[in-house]
Amino acid sequence: MAINYQLILDSICDEVKGLLSKGKVASYIPQLSAVSPLQFGIAAYCLDGRVFTAGDAQKKFSVQSITKLFALALAFAREGDKIWSRVGREPSGNPFNSLSQLEYEYGIPRNPFINAGALVIHDILAARFVQADIALLQFIRMLARQPALDFDKAVALSEHQTAHRNYAIAHLMKDFGNLHNPVETIIEGYCRQCSITMNCIELARAASFLANHGSIPWDGTRILDASSSKRLNALMLTCGTYDAAGDFAYRVGLPAKSGVGGGIVALVPGELAIAVWSPGLDATGNSLAGVMALERFTTLTARSIF
């Protein structure tokens, strides 16, 4: 029997309303601290082109760390397995901006989704493109079929003005020889990267190639081969939701990537990509209502990878 996705998304939207006031916005980035937590959007983009939405699905938001997924895909597509000499593939078990583990492990980040790993990936892209942040923006525009996507200059500036820990991480990796470009170049580009704004529909569409074994659903353009797509899905499952990846897998059961802007994108391989957004975060930096929404989605649809 066909799943009535619209009915399910509408139901989820109603269910999570009571959670919207319970999360806390990312106050350490001043521009994000001004966003009202009383917002929720959800969109499912099916590989056959159908789109289902509920709530604030068309509201733009700063996707933040979700851009790490697209940066990794772009770097992996260009460099292949060479990237793994500079960044690992293991869950960190520590906060996403931890310094202690990085020093203990000689400047090699545990995975591409913590801040240190994302800075290395940006450094890899900076060696290949004149401006890594612009190359990534153009890549995401193509994946989302939305040429108007752009950076939020105010968010980028706000992040750059408070990027002290990221500077420390970058300088530490530079000292270990794992950052090849100037620290300032990488931090500036990374802050701009994280400021890209999208809505839930655009985000789900942009990630749908990873639900389609590495190919863009609407025209068949291959971004990654099926094996590489599988590997990125595995990294999303084990490392994509900060140091709550185990609990997220337990509750939701889908590969996903979250951001402190309140967005989460998740994949049902072979079927769809789904994006949720609600700015109120839990203690681990994931959207409180967003995680619950995805848990309810996999429960109501019986769609997970388990």
Under 8 Å between Cβ of 31 and 72: no
Q: For the chain, what's the residue count? A: 306
Confirm whether 260 is a catalytic residue: yes
Contact 53, 43 (CB under 8 A): yes
Pair of tokens at residue 257 = 């990537």
Question: Is 45 annotated in the active site?
Answer: no
Residue 102: name the closest of 174, 182, 156, 26 by CA: 174
Q: Report which residue type is found at 146.
A: Q
Residue 17 gets which letter from DSSP?
Answer: G
Q: How far is CA 145 from the centre of its chain?
A: 18
Q: In what order do the strands lie in the sheet with 150-151?
A: 61-62, 196-198, 150-151
Question: What's the rounded Cα separation, in Å, for the pair 276 and 203?
Answer: 9
- Which one of the listed residues 35, 62, 158, 190 is annotated catalytic? 190
Q: Is 242 a catalytic residue?
A: yes
Out of 62, 65, 158, 229, pick the active-site residue.
Answer: 65
Annotated catalytic residue within 45, 68, 208, 268: 68
Structural contact between residues 237 and 245, judged by C-beta atoms closer than 8 angstroms: yes
* Given the residues 16, 242, 257, 287, the one annotated as active site: 242
Q: 10 Å Cβ neighbour count for 99?
A: 15
Amino acid identity, position 142: M
The Cα 86–Cα 112 span in angstroms is 10
Q: Which of 155, 260, 268, 276 is catalytic?
A: 260
Point out the residues that are catalytic. Answer: 65, 68, 190, 242, 260
